[in-house]
Amino acid sequence: MSSSAAILVTGGAGYIGSHTVDLLIRRGFNPVVVDNLSKGYRHNVSPERLHVFDVADTRRLAALMTELKVEAVIHFAAFIAVGESVGEPEVYFRNNIGGTLSLVEAMRRAGVTRLVFSSSAAVYGTPERVPVAEDAPFAPVSPYGESKATVERILGWLDRCRGLRSIALRYFNACGASPDARLGEEHVPETHLIPLVLRAVRTGAPVTIFGRDYPTPDGTCIRDYIHVCDLAEAHVAALEALLNGASSGAFNVGTGAGHSVLEVLRAAEEVTGSRIPHRFGERRAGDPPVLVADSSRLQRTFGWRPRYTSLVDIVATAWEFEKRRQ
């Protein structure tokens, strides 16, 4: 398979999608981006690669894939805010599940049979054991998590019934920014911890830490923070595996190391040289005390390894992006 293959990237103007598009270009692929720009940004993708429409437009998707001879798809396009999904479950099911159904139908019409799916650790809910392995049961505690679990089930059936080969990547807490500070987190509203902490430095407004009575060493939640560039590497590794004939599968993507919210604050203070203004709030419903990945299956299968294993280094890339945004 030629490395110059055309690869459709849905949601490629968003946070993780744009980093993956950037890596695909550097690896010699020809990424084609479809994004409705409801969450992504035009400035994240060069104009000649960007097609602005919704993945719900099945006919247009199929025509584009046929015209450009797309050989595989990386599917990021989705709504991702857990709290919002609880308030608007119908919107999340329509967009995340309905949008994927439109995509796979377009793929069927265009004869495209390989898909990398952006899944989430949210499919596990509050796991019984950590680190979490891929054989842990699906037990989502939000419509967002349910939407990802449902798509994974659908893809399993499409493998059996249609020969659509897919790899689902269940990632944990995506964070950080590109080393050149050109790409980073720009969610509106922002819900991720590290950019919220860094904005507290810039604005002086305290960041809220939800819960200080968890059964963890410092009482705050522990999460596995995986750098966005390492996530991009995992997507390209999965893509290359599918192009080389790999079977369908699901893989966790994380570092295998957990850090508490207060440890993130301390790392940010080290990076910025400033005290992080913060206050404590009540626990959020559905927040597990500890969520850490066992990504050994991914490492064994694809030879993938996280390059960013230092929390300070991860926060430093996010800080450079935050300063550039100012």
Q: Is residue 3's pLDDT more than 70?
A: no
pLDDT tens track for 197-227: 999 999 999 999 999 999 999 999 999 999 9
Q: Are strands 50-51 and 165-171 parallel, antiparallel or unpaired?
A: unpaired
Give the pLDDT band (50/70/90) at residue 261. very high
pLDDT tens track for 82-129: 889 999 999 999 999 999 999 999 999 999 999 999 999 999 999 999
Q: Is residue 287's pLDDT more than 90?
A: no
Average pLDDT over residues 264-282: 97
pLDDT of residue 240: 98
Beta carbons within 8 Å of 50's beta carbon, 6+ residues apart: 12, 13, 33, 35, 42
Between the CA of residue 151 and those of 45, 110, 184, 213, 248, what are the distances in Å?
Answer: 26, 20, 27, 34, 14
Cβ atoms of 300 and 159 within 8 Å: the answer is no
pLDDT of residue 1: 45
Average pLDDT over residues 3-17: 95
Please, what is the average pLDDT of the chain? 96
Q: Which of 174, 186, 191 is nearest to 284 (CA)?
A: 191
Q: Say if pTM beats, i.e. exceeds, 0.85.
A: yes
Active site residues: 144
Q: Is residue 147's pLDDT more than 80?
A: yes
Average pLDDT over residues 58-86: 96
CATH homologous superfamily for 6-175+226-253?
Answer: NAD(P)-binding Rossmann-like Domain (3.40.50.720)
Q: Give the domain ranges of the chain.
A: 6-175+226-253
Give the pLDDT band (50/70/90) at residue 286. confident
pLDDT of residue 127: 93
